[in-house]
Amino acid sequence: MSKNISIVLVDDHTVVRNGLKSLIERMGNYTISYQFENGKRFIEEIPLPEKPDLVIMDLTMPEMNGVELARKIHEIRPELPIVLASGFNAGLDLAKLGECGIHSLLEKPVSLTALTQLLEEKNLASKK
Does the pLDDT of residue 1 top 70, yes or no? no
CB 63 within 8 A of CB 39: yes
Provide CATH code, domain 5-127: 3.40.50.2300
- Lowest pLDDT segment from 19-23, 99-103, 122-126: 122-126
Q: Where are the domains of the chain?
A: 5-127
E-state strands within 11-64 = 30-36, 54-58
List pLDDT tens digits, range 84-102. Answer: 888 766 566 666 777 788 8
Rounded percentage of the chain residues whose pLDDT exceeds 70: 86
